[in-house]
Amino acid sequence: MSLQHYLVISSILFTLGIFAVLTRKNAISILMGIELILNSCNLNFVAFSRFVEPAKNIVGRDDYLLDGQIIAIFGIVLAAAEAAVFLAIILAIYREFGSIRPDEVDTLKG
Amino acid sequence: MDQILLSLMIFVPLLGMVVVFLLPNDREELIKRVALAFTLIPLVLAVYLFIDYNKSSAETQYFVSVPWIDTFHINYHVGIDGLSVTLLLLTALLGPICVLASWRNIEKGLKAYMALFLLLETGMLGFFASLDLFLFFVFFELTLLPMYFLIGVWGGPRREYAAIKFFLYTLFGSVLMLVAIIAVYLRSNIINDVAEGLRTFDIPELIQRATVEGHALGDSKFQMWVFLGFFIGFAVKVPIFPFHTWLPDAHVEAPTAISVILAGVLLKMGTYGFVRINMAMFPEGLDYFTNGDGFLGHSLALLGFINIVYGSFCALAQTDFKKLVAYSSIGHMGFVILGLAARNAEGINGAVLQMFNHGVISAMLFLLVGVLYDRAHHREINGFGGLGNRMPIYTGITTLAFMASLGLPGLSGFIGEALSLFGAFQEFPLLTILSTIGIVVGAAYFLWTLQRVFLGALNPKYEELPEINRREILTLVPLGILTIVLGIWPNIAIDMFSKSVTNLVNIVSI
Amino acid sequence: MDFTLKTFIFYGFALLTIGSALAVVTLRNIVHTAFALMVTLFGVAGLYVFLQADFLAATQVIVYVGGILVLILFGVMMTSGRLEMRIHIERGQLLLGAGISIALLMLLLTVIANMPVWKNLTDDGRSLEPTTEQIGTMILQEKFLLPFEVVSVLLLVALIGAALISRKEVRD
Amino acid sequence: MVVPLISIILLAPLAAFTIFALFGLAKRSFPRQDILSTAAMLVALGCSLYLLNETSDPKPLTVEWLSLGSITLSMGFYLDSVTVIMLIVVTLVSSLVHIFSIGYMHGDPRYPRFFAFLSLFSFSMLFLVVSDNLLGIYIGWELVGLCSYLLIGFWFEKDSAANACKKAFLTTRVGDVGMFIGMMMLFKQFDTLSLYGTDGIFEAVRTLEAGQIAWLSAAGILIFCGAVGKSAQVPLHTWLPDAMEGPTPVSALIHAATMVAAGVYLVARMFPILTPSSSLVIAYVGGITAIVAATIAIVRFDIKRVLAYSTVSQLGFMMLALGAGSYVAGLFHLTTHAFFKALLFLGSGSVIHAFHAMHAHHDEEHADDNEDEHDNHSLVHEHGSEIPPDQDMRNMGGLRRKMPFTFFTMLIATLSISGVPFVFSGFWSKDAILGGVLERAMGWNSVHHYILFGVVLLAAGITAFYMFRLIFMTFFGEPRNQEMHDMAHESPWVMVVPLLILAALSLPVVNKWWFKEGYINKPYQAHVHEPTHAQLRPDSKTGDTNFGFSNFGISEAEAAEEEGGHDTEHADDAHHGHGPAHTIAMVLSIIVAGLGILLSWLFYHKRRFTAESVATTFRPVYTLFWNKYYFDEFYNGVLVALTVWKSRLFAKFDLSIIDGIVNGVATITRAIFAAFIGFFDNRVIDGIVNRVAKVIWSVGGRVRRIQTGAIQTYLFVVLGGIVLIILIFRVL
């Protein structure tokens, strides 16, 4: 399994996520698309950290192999935070507009 | 200390711009004084540099070279030689004069005006001092923007047209120049088709490399094309026929002080760039256009000749005072081109001197036009008459300026013209002889103007026209003194750059 | 490449992930898509295992599947009161989106195809032990301490903000 | 001692002018500018007289003026007998004119300025005289032109004066350009503009090869062009009569005695580089000028114009002398002419001044008079300007009793210019010229010089005729305008004294006091070896002068031969030493002068014939003379019109074609990219500081439509943009 395998999978995930974000008319579906994108990114981080040696390697330490994983953990945390806020917003919008279709929610003025 | 002096001079006006911006809008007197102070500092520094400059050496002095954008080997490299120190002095001198000339006649947005003017001054000073091709280009473009606004906002009725014409013309030229700069950069480390060492934008380094055997920069066909690129860029600025039509419009619309800068400094940027880049860096390219062989070999001198004769004749037909002076500038810059085309010591020295002198004289002329315009609110030459009686001092100074401009010996305009012609005659006798038509026509339009404006019976409309005031005299006197002193003892200026010019002559005489 | 069990399982996971993701973007019923998403997340966790990221795989399953997905399902249910559960898609938008997505994919694939070949750093036998302890050390003691703290604050803020926004009505 | 003296001579008048200019900048004027300027001139005169015996070191000072790497241009003084004589002539005449002006210009609103300009003029002229190099001469030369411009246009409220000063400057400028080209040629060849010394042009000229003779001739003729302009030779003579619009002392100083003599001085200075062909050109120009101007002078009625044309004619004599190789004769005539012509002008000034006092309150009547007079001469009209009544000789007559001093001194000058033998200096100098030309003609057996001799002899006769016409019309007979006559009076002493001094100087006896025997003897001798005679002489058998090929050293060697010949009043030397030529010339000149005077007497005193009847008989000739050979018409109608037309054409070309192309390109570009440029235009043109807000407003209004608020649209655009950008970069 070379790096390319992972990258291909991740880019497919990414593209599908993008597609979802672009075409879905439902805020929650869009959120799911975003989750796909975030997952693809995390996968990339982990894969790269497994395959690519950093340019400035500190001698005697190989914990860089985990750098990508930790970034991915942070990514998951961010995704969680994002999901929470996103859903809260969706609820607020739903209350306000009675809809969560993004093309109906286009009033910019507060 | 010495190292920082030059940079200090360049960036003091920029600091001044910031300070002016911080001042309250309604304190107009304060704004003017601050602007004046920040233009006087470069003048003091320029005078110091002028005096302190070691004339006996042709080396670049006061140079500073600090890496700026490392990735592309761009350095902040400034330094002066005799040529640039002379023009720096001219620029720094015109700075406070222009601020003084704008004292009363800027009616709106004074703060923005002064700030833009200070920015412009930084651009001009930096241009004459920079020794890095990229820096050179940055400063070259830096003058464009404030100029555009200064004409476009504070100009006459057709200011938008003039400003956009100026802008597009110059932009057209600088695009070609940019292409040429990139071409030079990309070739700067290729010797015998092999890349060796680092690329560079450094002008002295490039000049040195071009002389290396087999260096890609030395290839004469390449030099010819790059020469053309730079040449068109500078030709627009000079301006050389047929790229000149922005000039009359820009001059007519621009406020007095801006016309002064335009004629006094911006036109010199074209010829200075021509000397600094086209001649020093591409002698082989220059050779194509000045070797006196066939049409192409005469082309540069021909352009000079056309500028002289065409500019003079066009000036003769003008009835707008300012337009007349603008066209006369075109004519006088022709002498510079002609002198440079000669490629010998007389020609180049004369051309450089003419650059300086024309800066001084045309500045005077535009100031004088401004004085009259401020009083009468029009510039129609035929609309005046007999002012000689009403304004004797003004008439006297105008006569001095006119005489200097038409090349009266004993005043500075003559020496530059004469040396340029002497030099050019050795290479292009026929064109030079034809160019002397310009001298006669030059005398004709100035004298005719003098007659129509000052001689004859006083136009009753102007019986109450006030005489030139003390502030206006103050702006004119330094220039007048320079005109006379350099006319009597031109060696003051020529000494400064003759060594550098000798260097240049050695480079271009291949 | 020899077709071992390991590769077989890898491809299985890859297909699972991609297939379910495809389902996420194509299925009309929003509840169905949520479950498809769950499968995708599992698939990704499996891929993490292949990358010897055991801790991460576990986190993925717990946080994503256990937390985020549940959150999403809650959202679906709370907003679907009188809305149709079916997702409405416009044809033109669909085509345009597909076009852009495919173009993007092509670009990414070109980039990947032109990439230099890096070898798997773990192939030389390094770092095969479980990663949990090491990650814990790195996060809590070593270089990622500060980011960790920052992220936790961020998470806190996000949660409070979410709670604030989703309140029923604003009381003065 | 010499250098400080010369410096004082130069600086004294310059200082007088500088003081005026500095006071002027402060809007004041120096309390006694007249005294200051006059004193400065007198100081200069004293120093010049002292220099009379100080010519042992001809190059007292040379300074490096311009150094351009290998080439150095230097400035310096050159002092030989010619310099000293010119210095004395200039300072003396100038001093007298200053003194005269104190009376003449009294009460003029710009009285101080007049003296300041006179000082500046004197400085320029003196600088020209003492310069040892062409560049210095050129500088002085042009400054003199400037002063002339300022002084001719002194009463610039009059349109005629304003026109005249412009015309003078431009006409001389045309000649100067020729001179400048000549300088460029010399500079190209020799890399220097210094004339004297081992590295000077005169030394270098000796090393030229035979093949370069034609080239040197061209350079010589071009330098001579400058003199043609300044010394008002045909065809550039038209400015000088017009220059009479200036105050009369100016006419005396500049347009008779000194500035116009600068051209002669220049040719004399450049003598060593003149080749036979360029000399012949000079001689012909001089001869033609002499006769053309003399014939025009016959029919003038304006007293100053008569004198102006007479000046032009006399300058032609001098040029002819130099062109014919009579170096000494030319310079001699220059000095004598300076004095008697200054005297004539000042005398006429005195007359005008006498009329001028009452001129103001009789303006209208004189205007009527003028009209009547014009009716009498209806076939002729003065072109350009009317004759001012106080200068019109038809208003004068019988003044000799009213103004005895003026009459007496002017008579002396007239006798001198007419060449009345033996007691008047003009006779000797004119005779020297005639003799020189005839001698050259006989010596070379040259047809050219015989023709020239005939021409100049005729001119001499005509000179006598019109000068006496002037005297008879002004001072003899009955007053033609009784009222003006009654008002006339003798001028104050400040004006009369200079007249008396000049009258004394017109007598050879006084000349001798400083004009020592053999003082001017030959031009600058740079050559070490004398050219052999074979080289010198033209082919005498054919009588053809064979100009292109013979050695150019001819003229100077000839002049050297005449060494000591025409020194001043020594008539005996003049014909004893030089064989028959001078005797013949002298006899002929006396005869023609006598004939001229006699005819004049018959016409204008005895009234045996009337000018009108002759004029009707020779109507075409008369018309030609009256219209000054139509030079002005030609220049105004053809050259000036052509230039102006051309300039209009160029300007129109510039505006419609060049600018049209520029604007056209702009329009087309705009049309093609209408939408895009429209947006750009709006942003750029309106993007001016005080309207930035407005622009943002309007641009915002347009751009708002893109801002749909639909997030997905944004995303489409963003991603599409990214894809596009990457694609572009991949492709490129």
- Give the model confidence (pLDDT) of B157-167 as tens digits: 888 888 888 88
Q: Which of B271, D143, D220, B354 is nearest to B346 (CA)?
A: B354
Banded pLDDT at D386 (limits 50, 70, 90): low
Percent of chain D, pLDDT > 70?
A: 79
Comparing A70-74, B474-478, D326-330, which segment has the lowest mean pLDDT?
Answer: D326-330
DSSP-assigned letter for residue D71: E
- Condensed to tens digits (0 to 9), the pLDDT of residues B199-212 reads 888 888 888 888 88
The distance of D711 to chain A (nearest Cα, Å) reads 7
Distance between D725 CA and the closest CA of chain C, angstroms: 11
Q: What confidence tier does D481 reach under pLDDT thresholds 50, 70, 90?
A: confident
Residues in A touching C124 (Cβ below 8 Å): none
- D114, D126, D212: which is closest to D154 by C-alpha? D114
> Looking at the predicted structure, is the pLDDT value of residue D542 above 60?
no
* Chain C positions in Cβ-Cβ contact with residue A50 (cut-off 8 Å): 51-53, 120-122
- Nearest by CB to D726, from C96, C97, C107: name it: C107
Q: Does A2 touch chain D (CB under 8 A)?
A: no
Identify the residue with better confidence: D168 or D611. Answer: D168
CA distance D67 to B238: 27
Secondary structure (3-state) at B278: helix
Q: With 50 as the cut, is the pLDDT of residue D549 above it?
A: no
Beta-carbon pairs below 8 A across chains B and D? 167
How buried is D52 (Cβ within 10 angstroms: 0-12 exposed, 13-18 middle, 19+ buried)? middle
The per-residue pLDDT for D695 is 52
pLDDT at C86: 54
Q: Is residue A14 situated within a structural domain?
A: yes
Q: Is A106 close to D719, i.e. CB distance below 8 A? A: no
Contact partners, residue B99, CB within 8 Å, separation at least 6: B32, B35, B36, B39, B114, B117, B257
The answer to whether A58 contacts chain D (CB < 8 Å) is: no
Average confidence score pLDDT of chain B? 89
Element of type H or E holding D72: strand D71-77
Indicate if the alpha-carbon torsion angle D493, D498, D503, D504 is positive or negative.
Answer: positive
Q: Which residue of C has its CA nearest to A92?
A: C166
User: Within a 10 A sphere around the Cβ of C10, how many other Cβ atoms?
Assistant: 19
Q: Say whether pLDDT at B123 is over 90.
A: yes
**What pLDDT score was predicted for residue D638?**
79
Verify B-C touch: 3 or more CB pairs within 8 A: no
D330 pLDDT higher than 60: yes
Flag whether A36 is in a domain.
yes
We report the CATH number of the domain holding residue A73 as 1.10.287.3510
DSSP code string of B54-118: -TT--S-EEEEEEEEEGGGTEEEEEEE-HHHHHHHHHHHHHHHHHHHHTTTT--S-HHHHHHHHH
Q: Which residues of D touch B498 (CB under 8 A)?
A: 67-69
CA angle D296, D299, D301 (to 5 degrees): 120
What residues in A contact D707, CB-CB < 8 Å?
A: 108
Specify the pLDDT at position B348. 92
| Residue B70 pLDDT class (50, 70, 90 cuts) | confident
Inside any domain, residue A108: no
Residue (of B239, B236, B260, B491) closest to B361 by Cα position: B260
Whole-number pLDDT of residue B308: 92
Higher-scoring residue by pLDDT: B163, D525: B163
Q: Are D142 and D169 in contact (CB under 8 A)?
A: no
Q: Whole-angstrom Cα distance, residue D260 to residue D333?
A: 13
Q: Chain A contacts of D719, Cβ < 8 Å?
A: 18, 22
Q: How confident is the model at residue D384 (pLDDT cuts 50, 70, 90)?
A: very low
Mean pLDDT, residues B350-360 taken together: 93
Q: How far apart are CA C147 and CA D672, in angstroms?
A: 55
Query: D409 CB contacts (<8 Å, ≥6 apart)?
Result: D343, D347, D499, D500, D502, D503
Model confidence at D505: pLDDT above 50: yes
Reply yes or no on whether the pLDDT at B126 is more than 90: yes
Q: Given its phi and psi angles, is residue B216 left (phi above 0), alpha (psi -120 to 50 degrees) or beta?
A: alpha
Q: What is the pLDDT of chain D when averaged over all its residues?
A: 77
Chains near B, with 3+ CB pairs < 8 A?
D
**Does A77 contact chain C (CB < 8 Å)?**
yes
> Which segment, C100-114, D481-495, D501-515, D687-701, is predicted with the most confidence on average?
C100-114
Rounded to the nearest angstrom, the minimum Cα separation between B40 and chain D is: 24
Interface of C with D in 139-158 (CB under 8 A): none
- In the numeric block, the tokens 């050559």 are attached to D527
Nearest to D377 by CA among D628, D623, D604: D623
* Sequence-separated (6 or more) residues with CB below 8 Å from residue A61: none
pLDDT at site D373: 38
Per the CB < 8 Å rule, is A21 touching D708? Answer: no
Give the helix ranges, DSSP H, for B343-469. 345-376, 387-390, 392-405, 412-427, 429-435, 437-454
Q: How far apart are CA D461 and CA D594, in angstroms?
A: 8
Cβ contact, residue pair A106, D715, below 8 Å: no
Is the minimum CB–CB distance between A87 and chain C shorter than 8 Å?
yes
- Nearest CA distance, C161 vs chain A (angstrom): 7
Residues C144 and A39: beta-carbon distance below 8 Å? no
Say which residue, D115 or D396, is predicted with more confidence: D115
Residue B69, beta-bridge partner list? B74
Alpha carbon separation from D346 to D98, D172, D252, D340, D500 (Å, rounded) = 11, 24, 6, 10, 11
Amino acid present at B438: G
pLDDT at D690 over 70: no
Instruction: Give pairs for A74-78: CB < 8 Å, separation 24+.
Output: A74/C147, A74/C148, A74/C151, A75/A38, A75/A41, A75/A42, A75/A45, A76/A42, A76/C59, A76/C60, A76/C63, A76/C64, A77/C63, A77/C151, A77/C152, A77/C154, A77/C155, A78/A38, A78/C151, A78/C154
Higher pLDDT, B75 or C80: B75
Is there a domain that residue A102 lies in?
Answer: no
User: B157, B315, B153, B167: which is closest to B248 by C-alpha?
Assistant: B315
Q: For D64, list phi and psi in degrees, rounded to 5.
A: -75, 120
Q: Does D598 touch chain C (CB under 8 A)?
A: no
Residue C168 scores a pLDDT above 80: no
Q: Contacts of residue C108 in chain D, CB cutoff 8 Å?
A: none
CB of A71 less than 8 A from some CB of D:
no
The parent domain of residue A18 ranges over 3-97
Does residue B363 carry a pLDDT above 90?
A: yes
pLDDT in the model for residue D43: 92
**For residue A109, is it within any domain?**
no
Residues 37-56 (A) with a CB less than 8 A from some CB of D: none
Are the C-beta atoms of B208 and B60 separated by less than 8 Å? no
* Chain B residues closer than 8 Å to D652 by CB: 317
Cβ partners under 8 Å of residue C32, min gap 6: C23
Q: For D709, which of A18, A22, A106 is closest by C-beta distance?
A: A106
Q: How many domains does chain A have?
A: 1
Mean pLDDT of B485-499: 89
pLDDT band at A107 (very low <50, low <70, confident <90, very high): low
Phi, psi at C170, each rounded to 5°:
-85, 125
* Residue D562: predicted pLDDT: 41
Please report, for chain B, the start and end positions of each structural domain, with discontinuous segments joined by +.
291-510
Rounded to an integer, what distance in angstroms lies between the CA atom of residue A19 and that of residue A34? 10
pLDDT at B112 over 70: yes
- Give the closest residue to C49 by CA, choosing from A16, A32, A50: A50
CA distance B186 to B199: 7
Give chain D positions within 8 Å (CB) of B419. 66, 68
Token duo for residue B47 = 């005078």
**Residue B274 pLDDT more than 90?**
yes
Answer yes or no: do A73 and C59 touch at CB < 8 A: yes
- Considering only CA atoms, which of B446, B42, B93, B43 is closest in space to residue B261? B93
Chain-centroid distance of CA D401 in Å reads 36
User: Which chains reach chain D with 3 or more Cβ–Cβ distances below 8 angstroms?
Assistant: A, B, C
| Angle C38-C43-C47 from CA coordinates, rounded to 5° | 145
Please report which helix (H) or strand (E) contains residue C36, including its range.
helix C30-50
Least confident of A104-108, B47-51, B177-181, B230-234: A104-108
Say if residue D677's pLDDT is above 60.
no
Residue B33: its pLDDT value, please?
92
Interface check D730 vs C, CB under 8 A: yes
At D524, the pLDDT band (50, 70, 90 cuts) reads: low
| pLDDT for residue B353 is more than 60 | yes
Which residues of chain C from 52 to 91 reach within 8 Å of chain A, CB to CB?
52-53, 55-56, 59-60, 63-64, 67-68, 71-72, 74-76, 78-79, 83, 87-90
**What are the tokens at C161?**
């903000």
Q: Any CB–CB contact under 8 A between A1 and chain C?
A: yes
Measured in whole angstroms, the distance separating CA B256 from the mean position of its chain's CA atoms is: 16
d(CA D65, CA D74): 5
Mean pLDDT to the nearest integer, D184-203: 84
Chain segment B304-339, per-residue pLDDT in tens? 999 999 899 888 888 899 999 999 999 999 999 999
Going by the DSSP 8-state scheme, the letter that residue D301 receives in this structure is -
H or E segment at B187?
Answer: helix B159-187
In this predicted structure, the answer to whether residue D707 has a pLDDT above a threshold of 60 is no
Q: Which residues contact B25 (CB under 8 A, 6 or more apart)?
A: B111
Give the best residue of D121, D647, D663 to mutate against chain B (max B CB count within 10 A). D647
Cβ B204 vs Cβ B60: under 8 Å: yes
Q: What is the pLDDT of residue B105?
A: 83
Choose the closest CB to B403 out of D21, D146, D654. Answer: D146
Q: Which of A101-105, D521-525, D564-568 has the highest mean pLDDT?
A: A101-105
pLDDT band at D661 (very low <50, low <70, confident <90, very high): confident
- Chain A residues in contact with C84 by the CB 8 A cut-off are none
Question: To the nearest whole angstrom, how far is the Cα of D685 from the nearest Cα of chain A?
Answer: 31
* Model pLDDT, residue B95: 93
CA dist., res. D211 & res. D188, Å (int) = 16
Convert the pLDDT of each residue in D105-148 to its tens digit: 888 888 888 999 999 999 999 999 998 888 889 999 999 989 99
What is the pLDDT, as a whole number, of residue B124?
94
Residues of D at the A interface, defined by Cβ within 8 angstroms: 707-712, 715-716, 719
Asked if chain D contacts chain B via 3 or more Cβ pairs within 8 Å, the reply is: yes
Give D702 to chain C, closest Cα distance, Å: 24
Residue of D nearest to C99 (CA): D720
Mutation for testing the B interface, residue in D131, D184, D673 having most B CBs under 10 Å: D184
Selected for mutation to probe chain D from C87, C104, C111 (highest D CB count within 10 Å) is C104
- Spatial neighbors of D538 by CB under 8 A, at least 6 apart, are D276, D444, D446, D544, D545, D546, D547, D550, D554
Tell me the two tokens of residue B450. 């003098």
Residue B30 has pLDDT above 50, yes or no: yes
Backbone angles phi, psi at B257, to 5 degrees: -60, -35
Pick the range with the lowest mean pLDDT from A100-104, B89-93, B415-419, D112-116: A100-104
> How remote is the C-alpha of C131 from its chain's centroid?
20
Task: Average the pLDDT over B370-377 and give the result.
Answer: 89
Angle at CA of residue A23, ends A19 and A28, nearest 5°: 95
